[in-house]
Chains A and B, each alone.
Chain A
Amino acid sequence: MSELIPLIVAKYNYWLYIILMMIGLYAMIAKNNLVKKLVGMNIFQTSIILFYVSIGCKKGGTIPIIHHGIHAGRHVVDPAHYVNPLPHVLMLTAIVVSVSTLGVALALAVKIYNRYKTLEEDEILARLRAK
């Protein structure tokens, strides 16, 4: 037990990302409103993006930009001094995909509301079964 606590404290960000991911999963499964489910889906996505960006982070690393670009060819840049920009670029795509997913899902929710006059999942299912 005494050697387990430093292990948890040293990787505190991963544990908090897991908590955030479980909040999103709970909202997707247990909430009854369609908009609440979409908010849960976005929280889930951002927790995964946080995990990936956090992998590329390093202690004392600077932002991955060359400060004086006019002399860029004359000195050697050491990759150990800046954070890894590869997860950033991959997750940039994931953010754009997530906002387009949100737009399509909200458009479908508006269409469902126009037809059934409710956003609650159980009422929609009851009216679907009643037909």
Chain B
Amino acid sequence: MIWQLDLAILTLVIVTAVATIAVKDLLGCAILFGAYSFLMCLLWAIMAAVDVAFTEASVGAGVSTVFFVAAVFRTTRRTRD
């Protein structure tokens, strides 16, 4: 494990998490959550957990984002917080 790369991507993960819950648009929230999941996938590839990494890339960044976008299109994009 390269700790400099680990620390940099972990910082990016926290920035993306804060942006995901702070943005005032649910579609933007869904897309930022996809970015969060993909950064998490990179973090697992760094930690040598390759099986978890490709499961997260397909299930977390793929299927979860599709679920969120589908739910937002069936409901509303507007949110107050």
Contact = CB atoms under 8 A, between A and B. Distances in A.
Nearest to A91: B52
A95 to B, nearest CB: 6
B75 A113 contact: yes
Nearest to A32: B81
Interface residues of B, number: 42
Interface in A85-120: 85, 87-89, 91-92, 95-96, 99, 102-103, 106, 109-110, 113, 118-120
A22 to B, nearest CB: 10
| Majority secondary structure, B binding face | helix
Interface of B: 1, 6-7, 10-11, 13-14, 17-18, 20-21, 26, 29, 33, 36-37, 40, 43-44, 47-52, 55-56, 59-60, 63-64, 67-68, 70-72, 74-76, 79-81
28 contacts: A12-B7, A13-B6, A16-B11, A19-B14, A24-B17, A31-B21, A33-B26, A35-B26, A36-B21, A39-B21, A42-B33, A42-B64, A46-B60, A53-B44, A53-B49, A53-B52, A54-B47, A56-B49, A63-B48, A65-B50, A87-B49, A88-B49, A91-B49, A92-B52, A102-B67, A106-B68, A109-B71, A120-B79
